């Protein structure tokens, strides 16, 4: 990307920077003065540590201040001189999780804006689907080299407990940069978090007419970017706004915040979605695969095959199996 393209991308993301300033940053080694954040330490401190030790080995006469200047000129951040001094004396090493920009990072950010617990107190991912949690752990390892453990919490959920301050920091706005850099991987993480696939059944419950994939998000910025990325992929979702209020779900009242739903209707979009994005989690993945297998059959035959595998319970399609026992009073 050239200067003009980078400048336009930054403006779209809400960052006002002059073209001349960008040129100084990109080509002349200039950078703003700031204290490195957890994300910046994760991205650059391990490289800075290696560069500092290598510079000292090659130039034993250099002091820590000169080495700090040498390292800072070659990286996008400034490393404090005292930090370099501690590294050279063997008093400390970088204690930040190393992060490598790669497609797996796009998936992590998709999960971040979806299911990830972003508060300072809460840690990691907490979901009901073990396959989803395991895939997230693999993507985390690919981006950082660290594999978080997936454990059940005793209440039907599977959790990871990494305290990824660098990942939470992306929620402040930089998540959009990662989403634009890795759009397909971002959408995969977002759909694994907030997506759903279901059949379209006629009112008489005799034919399976079509299918739809939905994405429900509670943040307008996330919705807008997801809609833009889906449109670029040729999926062109239909948007629906749901205002806040009380709704009845399976006979119980719940208070809901506002949200937006993006719909992908029809077999062609279902097939394109499966090829480009799909699901990693088992239940939704099996649904999607079954719908694709029966798409070319007559509608009544589709319905028969679908109902061999799924049944309606409490208004939802669930896989057939033993019904849960009622508690005896």
Q: Is the pLDDT of residue 327 over 60?
A: no
Q: How close are the terminal C-alpha atoms of the chain, in Å?
A: 68
Task: Write down the domain spans for the chain.
Answer: 3-88, 103-172, 192-313
Mark out the alpha helices in 113-266 (DSSP H runs).
Answer: 130-144, 165-169, 175-181, 183-194, 220-232
CATH class (in words) of the domain with range 192-313: alpha beta
Please state, in angstroms and rounded to a whole number, the distance separating the CA atoms of residues 110 and 125.
12
Mean pLDDT over residues 156-163, rounded? 87
Amino acid 329: pLDDT: 37
Question: Among 97, 70, 67, 98, which residue's Cα sits nearest to residue 82?
Answer: 67
Residue 116 and residue 126: Cα distance in Å, rounded?
7
- Could you report the per-residue pLDDT of 173-232, keeping only the tens digit for each? 889 999 999 999 999 999 999 999 999 999 888 999 999 999 999 999 999 999 999 999
Pairing of strands 310-313, 259-265: unpaired
CATH code at 103-172 = 3.10.28.10
pLDDT at 238 over 80: yes
Residue 322 has pLDDT above 70, yes or no: no
Say what the pTM is.
0.83
pLDDT bucket at 328, cuts 50 / 70 / 90: very low
* Two domains, one topology: 103-172 and 192-313: yes
- Mean pLDDT is lowest, of 65-79, 83-97, 109-123, for 109-123
In sequence order, the β-bridge partners of residue 199 are 211
CA distance 14 to 194: 26
């Amino acid at each position: 990307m050239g200067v003009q393209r980078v400048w336009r991308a930054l403006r779209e993301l809400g960052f006002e920077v002059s073209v001349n300033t960008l040129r100084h940053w990109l080509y002349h080694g200039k950078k703003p003065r700031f204290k490195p954040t957890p994300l910046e330490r994760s991205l650059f401190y391990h490289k800075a540590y290696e560069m500092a030790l290598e510079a000292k080995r090659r130039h034993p006469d250099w002091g820590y201040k000169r080495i700090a200047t040498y390292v800072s000129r070659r990286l996008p951040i400034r490393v404090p001189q005292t930090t370099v001094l501690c590294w050279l004396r063997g008093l400390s090493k970088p204690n930040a999780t190393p992060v490598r920009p790669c497609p797996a990072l796009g998936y992590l950010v998709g999960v971040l804006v979806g299911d990830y617990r972003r508060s300072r107190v809460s840690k990691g991912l907490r979901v009901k689907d073990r396959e989803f949690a395991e895939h997230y752990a693999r993507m985390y390892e690919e981006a950082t080299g660290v594999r978080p453990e997936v454990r059940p919490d005793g209440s039907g959920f599977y959790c990871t407990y990494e305290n990824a301050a660098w990942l939470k920091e992306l929620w402040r706005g930089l998540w959009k940069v990662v989403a634009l850099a890795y759009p397909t991987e971002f959408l995969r993480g977002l759909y694994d978090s907030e997506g759903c696939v279901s059949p379209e059944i006629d009112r008489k419950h005799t034919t399976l007419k079509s299918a739809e994939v939905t994405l429900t998000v509670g943040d307008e910025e996330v919705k807008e970017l997801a809609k833009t990325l889906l449109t670029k992929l040729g999926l062109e979702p239909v948007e629906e706004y749901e205002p806040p209020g009380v709704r009845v779900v399976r006979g119980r009242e719940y208070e809901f915040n506002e949200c937006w739903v993006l719909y992908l209707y029809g077999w062609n979009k279902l097939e394109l979605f499966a090829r480009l994005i799909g699901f990693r989690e088992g239940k939704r993945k099996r649904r999607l695969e079954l719908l694709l297998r029966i798409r070319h059959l007559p509608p009544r035959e589709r319905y028969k095959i679908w109902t061999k595998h799924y049944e309606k319970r409490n208004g939802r399609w669930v896989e057939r199996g033993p019904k849960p026992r009622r508690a005896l009073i």
